[in-house]
Amino acid sequence: MPQQLKKVVKQDLKQTIVETGRFMISRGLTVGTWGNVSLRDPDTGLIYISPSGMDYEEIQAEDVVVLNSQIELVDGCRVPSVERGMHVSVYNARPDVNAVVHTHPLYSTVLGVNHMELPGISEDFAQIVADKIICSEYALPGTMDLAENVVEALGERNAVLLPNHGTLCVGETMKYALTVCHVVEKTAHIYIMAKSIGTPHLISDEDIKAMQYFARNVYGQR
C-alpha cells in the first residue's frame, strides 16, 4: 500500500467495525458469521468493512478491510465481506450515508420472506427510518444484481428488506445506523403481532412528514 494511504487508514474506525459486529451478535440482530458492517470515512472516502466469514467475537482491528469507492483494496490482509459490492454501491448512491449495517434478524426477515412492505406504524420508525420500507427484488447473495436491487429499493429511505435474506440499514453514523436496525426490527415485531389480532392503523402521510420535520429540526438539543 502506498505510504500516503497508510497515513489515512484510521485504527479507530477499524475498531468501530469490530465493536459493531460484536454488538450486533449480542443484540440478536444476526447469528453465526452472517451479516456484515461497514463505515465510510467522510474525510477520505475510504470504506472500512468486516471480513468474510469470520466469527464476530474473534475479529480484531487488523482483520478489518479497507476499500475505495471502486471496491479496490486499500488496506488489509483478509478477504472482505462478500457483500462489499452492496455496501460500496449504497455509499456511491447515497452521499449522506456513512454507515451500513446488514443484519439477519427475525421479525423483519419474516416480512422479507413474504415479500411484504413494512409501513410506518410507529412514531420512532416514521421519524428516523421512512414512511415505509419495501422489499427489494431477489438476487443471489454477493452479486452485483443484489447490490443494484438493494440500492433501487432503498432509495432515500434508511432501510430496506432483502427478500429471503435479511435487512439493510443505513445512517450518517454507525450509532444512527444501529438505532435504525433496532427500530426496524421492533416495528416489524409490532406489525406482525398487530396483524395477528386485527388491522394495524397507519399514520397518515401528512403526520409522517410533520414528524420527520420535527425529528430533523426541533427534537433534541440544538
Report the catalytic residues. 83
Three-class DSSP category at 36: strand
CA-based nearest residue to 168, from 119, 135, 138 = 135
Alpha-carbon distance of 120 to 211, in angstroms, equals 11
Distance of CA 107 to the CA centre of its chain: 16
Are 137 and 161 spatial neighbours (Cβ–Cβ below 8 Å)? no
Distance of CA 194 to the CA centre of its chain: 25
Q: Which residues contact 147 (CB under 8 A, 6 or more apart)?
A: 83, 85, 86, 88, 89, 90
Give the three cell numbers for residue 32: 453465526
